[in-house]
Amino acid sequence: MLKEEAYRNMLWNEHIEYKALMFSIIVNNEYVGYCGIKNTTHEQWEIAIEILNEWKHKGIGYKAISVMLDEIKNRLNVSEFRVRIDVKNYPSQKLFEKLGAEPNGISEFMLHGESDIIRCEEENIYMIDNRMLELAKKFNVEPRRLLSHVLEYKLA
């Protein structure tokens, strides 16, 4: 999606809003991604992270989130966070579980109307595999709901 100008513009605008708290991740003077809080006006802050493909799987995300969380806890006294992760984003799930995040159900993301949610699930029911069945059990939800929602973790 980063190739789409409209998406990049939307992402940039989210990052420069007064309510966002975003940090660039720099390695050897090279931009490799960002992490931060989407909206500090919400009661529970939601963590966001994006690492460029060529820098993934090198431990950078773990280090960046760890440093960010330590600083937020020390400076702002905030210690509970929400993380929403796509069902198929297994590396992010593993990252946040390593950081101590625990399953906290699922939440709507792109689809909000019940008829759209049902249609999405029915059209994509064939995508349910063993890994999704395990996730559904772990998050205590019907497997088909993973086709229309994102995973939600709580990090304290």
Q: Provide the pLDDT for residue 3.
A: 66
Residues 6+ apart with CB under 8 A from 81: 37, 44, 45, 46, 47, 69, 154, 155, 156
CATH number for 39:
3.40.630.30
* 152 pLDDT more than 90: yes
In a domain? residue 102: no
Per-residue pLDDT band for 10 (boundaries 50, 70, 90) equals confident
Domain range for 38 is: 1-79
The contacts found for 27-30 with CB under 8 angstroms, 24 or more apart, are 27/55, 27/60
In the prediction, which pLDDT does 124 show? 81
In a domain, 33, yes or no: yes
* Average of per-residue pLDDT across 37-48: 92
pLDDT at position 36 is: 95
Burial pattern 41-65, b for ≥16 Cβ within 10 A else e, equals eeeebbbbbbbeeebeeeebbeebb
> How confident is the model at residue 117, as a pLDDT?
77
Domains identified in the chain, total number: 1
The span from the CA of 118 to the CA of 148, in Å, is: 8
Residue 71 located in a structural domain? yes
- Overall average pLDDT of the 106-122 stretch: 77
> Does any domain span residue 111?
no
How high is the pLDDT of residue 122? 85
Mean pLDDT of 120-126: 84
Does 92 reside within a domain?
no
Mean model confidence pLDDT for the chain: 89
**Is residue 108 domain-resident?**
no
